[in-house]
A and B are shown apart, each in its own frame.
Chain A
Amino acid sequence: MGMIRIHDLSHRYGRLQVLDALELEIQGGRCTAILGPNGAGKTTLVKCILGLVRPDSGRITIDGERVGDDPEYRRRIGYMPQIARYPENLTAREIIQMIRDLRGNPDDTDESLVHDLRVDGELDKPFRTLSGGNRQKVSAVLAFLFRPGILFLDEPTAGLDPVTSSVLKDRVKQERDAGRTIVLTSHVMSEVEELADSVVYLLDGRIHFEESVAELIGTSGEMNLERAIARRITARVVA
């Protein structure tokens, strides 16, 4: 469950070829980190899967079902954006209620993160008064709220304090172990090392390499993922 197949995906912004005939299979029930330098196409790739960007060509399927105009497939997806901005005059509680309404008010929602991330006290304040960190916590609550089978987390812990960051990471691990598909982008390699099963490294809209975290570290002889990836990239360039 939760397998994402991407076939021959291309997209350009003006002259810039952001995605270049990309082929990728994201395994279900695992945590895959999408890495790469700025402008490598990470965000565009994720946005194509979410339906925010309409790719020029190519095909995306989730468990064999093609991603297209019908928005129903997004019922299975939870998304935590990197920058979270909401209507300034609404409260977090109202936003959560709105998204619930849009999903038809399912009963089995999971609000444990409200308590775990300690945002209880912020739910009734207008959004414009919330700090960046608190907005991000609300985004996390929304992403996990409907127990989605597939989770997209875009820099989930950037801007969070160590305590909440740990809580969130524990939660991600818990979901991964429960068999959910998790797609993560992050600049913090220790986080990727901790959470991800495998790494997809994008460069110029193509896959530079794709490997499991254990393998990457094991074969490189380096002590952590950051070093291992650095070595892997420079090795390619020299060769």
Chain B
Amino acid sequence: MNTLKIARYQLRDVMRSRWVLLYGIFFLLMTDALFRFGGSGERVLLSLMNVVLIAIPLVAIVLGTMYLYGSREFTELLLTQPVRRRSLFLGLFTGLALPMSVAFVLGTGLPFWAHGGLAGGTGSSLLLLLGTGVGLTLIFASLAFLIALSTEDRIRGLGISLGVWVFFTVVFNGLVMLAIYMLADYPMEKPVLALSLLNPIDLGRILLLLSFDISALMGFTGAVFRRFFGSGLGQGVAIGAMAAWVVIPFALGLRSFHRKNF
């Protein structure tokens, strides 16, 4: 399998460029510190949630964009070998998404294990947090690839990446709130529900808060979500929407890679 061969070497390159190590250490120190200061596993999870929802998309989209630009010439060289474009795309993606996911999972999981934070019901919540983090890694790495493939200018590409991150982190919720405020006289539940499916970070937040069962932090979209679906079905819908977010940008990236003129 050419995909695996390419991924193996890309992986080696990424691992040697230490930023993945730093990324893992960041989660390790953060989680460990939260345990030392905060105590119980549940509270640590809650604090970690915000880090996961903000830091992972940012790092994945910025590093992903830079990574693809950085391997441009090498990509060209590999495309002159008897290699299918699809294999190469998958290899490049794996070379980025796999080490990032592993660094996050180990960096967060190990302190939990070391501090015995898995006692009680937190085990499944931790699993959900790790899953959400990996999902967001895949989503924002795919978006990064899509951006880097459609923009030749590196600075502009990086700017678009940051813009997309700001949009999903800050602007999106602002717009939702604005819409709710402006249209306060109308029933807004269903439109808001639909809107929340369009933001992977919001989906991640809803997914985690439904599991932690803390309605005070849920925000408008989360509250609507729970009321509409109930906790169980709500989680199912959120996971399904996240899965769609993983698949669609990836498929679009693959298509654009397939058609691209290098």
Contact = CB atoms under 8 A, between A and B. Distances in A.
Interface of A: 11, 13, 47, 50-54, 69, 71-75, 77, 79, 81, 83-90, 94-95, 98-99, 101-103, 126, 142
B127 interface: no
Contacts of B70: 88
A52 B12 contact: no
A71 B83 contact: yes
15 contacts: A47-B262, A50-B79, A50-B80, A51-B79, A71-B81, A71-B82, A75-B82, A88-B70, A94-B9, A98-B5, A98-B6, A99-B81, A102-B81, A103-B82, A126-B16
B5 A53 contact: no
Given A74-B80, A98-B6, 19 more contacts: A13-B261, A47-B261, A52-B79, A52-B80, A52-B261, A54-B259, A71-B81, A72-B82, A79-B77, A81-B76, A84-B73, A84-B77, A85-B73, A88-B70, A98-B5, A99-B81, A102-B82, A102-B83, A142-B77
B259 A71 contact: no
Nearest to B76: A52
A75 B82 CA distance: 5
A134 B73 CA distance: 16
B8 to A, nearest CB: 8
Given A53-B261, A72-B82, A102-B82, A87 B77 contact: no
B153 to A, nearest CB: 14
A94 B84 CA distance: 21
B10 interface: yes
A206 B39 CA distance: 73
Contacts of A83: 73
Contacts of B6: 98, 102
Contact of A51 (B10, B72, B73, B80): B80
A90 B73 contact: no
A87 B5 CA distance: 14
Contacts of B76: 52, 81
Given A52-B262, A84-B73, A126-B16, A79 B9 contact: no
Nearest to A48: B261
Given A47-B262, A94-B9, A86 B74 contact: yes
A54 to B, nearest CB: 6
A70 to B, nearest CB: 8
A90 B77 contact: no
Contacts of A81: 73, 76-77, 80
Interface string B1-27: 010011001101110110000000000
Interface of B: 2, 5-6, 9-10, 12-14, 16-17, 70-74, 76-85, 259-262
Contacts of B79: 50-52
Nearest to B79: A52
Contact of A90 (B9, B81, B262): B9
Contacts of B9: 87, 90, 94-95, 98
A87 B10 contact: yes
Contact of A74 (B12, B72, B81): B81
Contacts of B85: 71
A102 B78 contact: yes
By Cβ-Cβ distance, the 8 closest A-B pairs, closest first, are: A89-B16, A87-B13, A85-B73, A52-B262, A79-B80, A53-B261, A75-B82, A98-B9
Nearest to A13: B261
A77 B80 contact: yes
B82 A88 contact: no
A9 B10 CA distance: 35
Most A CB atoms within 10 A — which of B16, B82, B262? B82
A153 to B, nearest CB: 12
Nearest to A86: B74
B88 to A, nearest CB: 10
B46 to A, nearest CB: 37
B11 to A, nearest CB: 10
Contacts of B259: 54
Contacts of B13: 87-90
A89 to B, nearest CB: 4
B17 to A, nearest CB: 5
Nearest to B261: A53
Contacts of B10: 87
A74 B82 contact: yes
